[in-house]
Amino acid sequence: GVRRLHDARAGVLIAPGDVRALRAAGALELGLGRLAAAREHLERAADLAPSDPDILLPLGETLLRLGDLRLAATAYARAEQVSPGNVQARIGRGWVSLLAGREREAADLWRPVIAATRNGATLERMLDLYRRLGDRAAVAEVEAAIGRMGR
Is the model's pLDDT at 125 over the cut of 90? yes
Is the model's pLDDT at 14 over the cut of 60? no
Distance from C-alpha of 118 to C-alpha of 37, rounded to nearest angstrom: 27
Q: What is the pLDDT, as a whole number, of residue 101?
A: 97
Is the model's pLDDT at 10 over the cut of 60? no
Q: Which carries the bigger pLDDT value, residue 150 or residue 28?
A: 28
